[in-house]
Chains A and B, each alone.
Chain A
């Protein structure tokens, strides 16, 4: 296994290229600017396209344009920029175009700050733009996990014709870790594989094959039919694509829940408390949409579990999904801060010990 020490943003960008992405459209914003910077140097080397758009609004619409031709396309931004992309994301979801979108989250609301944060969980999982839609949303917790997920992200996006969102944060983009890079995938779209794509159609060709990349269905009946198609697809994804990790939960009395980078703090707390003889475990959703409701419920409903502690770098957003999964079967507590203040291992441990002492 060849491990290279890489910066998160560069590893993520390279992984997208290895997964076949040949079109990048974006706009600079901290803490993800190294991604467009990397792309601007790398894309020309491999015959790809890097284009700095005039805004995130334009960038996501360029994604709409390029993805509609069947190519593998990616865009990247951070929270305020991702807010601007919501219009385009909704249209892309409506038009059922596969693509990959990265949100390297920073503090909010508004301009917030440039430190890592998890404040966009609601936006990512509950629909940031208008209309009934979802994005297949991954929240990996290490650079390697982002890279590995990227390698199948386009296949999922294309299988379901859905945009894939990576919910990352400034820490993962800025830190360095050893990574194993996969082999390069050379991707060529075909009309057979993507009959909906705009790849050339002339009068006299089969009218059913003329591409119309569109999210508008003006009659109630047509829009209902269209949303039924989307909803059926979302149910399939919920059935097939849920990803999660149970870490030392099999005999845990306290189950922690956390996603992304902060789950690593939770994991350290679990390991340290285990050393001290406390039975603590971590349940980590890897897909945050679809959320692993049933799997979390199963982990929490074990007889020895006394309570759940949800840890986030926000004021309690995934907490709502955790509560839905637990459905009152156990007390659920929350430890988190907004303003990009990461909980420390010590803080998490102290909270768990207090919970155990209270007999929860």
Chain B
């Protein structure tokens, strides 16, 4: 009998605390599998990886990723990762951050990590909401979207239009590879994994800052069931946040 599927070793056996239908779990698995594969392919020495967890629903990511891990202050993961990478330049370093973390309180840190061309992979989980604190408006919350701090729907005149981080960071000269993905169906999941792995490979080749934005469902705080949530993501988020490669210096050079 041959083994056709195994759980990746880069995830611990700890049970995820995520809500049913939450996409954080899928994204964790893609990150872990990518690392695992790079090790198996001989591109990365086993154990030579450090992750940085954010403040947000994925705050416990250090319990899930089976490698050396840090828990950073809210928004500061790119600065923490910068310190790690400068101290251990041969180690694969990644941050995992939500949209409140990366696109609000941590904008300075992520913009400047990109600006310096830090050799990091940032996984940016955009669910258009502050999941952990119970569904407040994020900078990524869509116009008209109701949250606990925009109970009448996000008003563009009052608090601006949702911020597009992939577009923005692709304009920073120091960034190397920026792609926006989703994990709403199998095709997109496979694409997302490819993107994550490619970003990691770029880092191992000593290339600059890479960010993979992943549109992610938060059924709990969107007030939808898991199936409806994916539908809402497809009908509302993807049109405003188009999927695709925003920058790939590696491909430009080919």
Contacts and interface: CB of A to CB of B under 8 A. Distances in A.
A214 B62 CA distance: 9
A65 B83 contact: yes
Interface string A246-264: 0000000000000000000
B84 interface: yes
Given A57-B79, A68-B84, A87-B73, A200 B112 contact: no
A199 B86 contact: no
Interface size class of B (residues with CB under 8 A): 20 to 34
Interface stretch (B22-30, B64-72, B206-214): B64-72
Interface stretch (A33-41, A48-56, A176-184): A48-56
B186 to A, nearest CB: 27
A215 B91 CA distance: 23
A201 B68 contact: yes
Which of A25, A87, A204, A212: most chain B CB closer than 10 A? A212
Interface of A is mostly: mixed
B48 interface: yes
Given A54-B108, A63-B83, A200-B48, A88 B76 contact: yes
Contacts of A203: 9-10, 46, 66
A307 interface: no
A61 B113 CA distance: 12
A47 to B, nearest CB: 12
A350 interface: no
Interface of B: 9-10, 46-48, 50, 52, 59, 62, 66-73, 76, 79-88, 91, 108-109, 111-112, 115
Interface of A: 23, 25, 49, 51, 53-55, 57-59, 61-69, 71, 73, 87-88, 91, 95, 198-205, 210-216
7 contacts: A51-B86, A57-B79, A64-B70, A64-B79, A66-B86, A95-B71, A216-B71
Given A67-B83, A198-B84, 19 more contacts: A54-B109, A57-B76, A57-B108, A58-B112, A61-B72, A62-B79, A65-B70, A65-B80, A66-B83, A68-B70, A68-B84, A91-B73, A198-B69, A202-B47, A203-B10, A211-B68, A212-B62, A212-B68, A213-B71
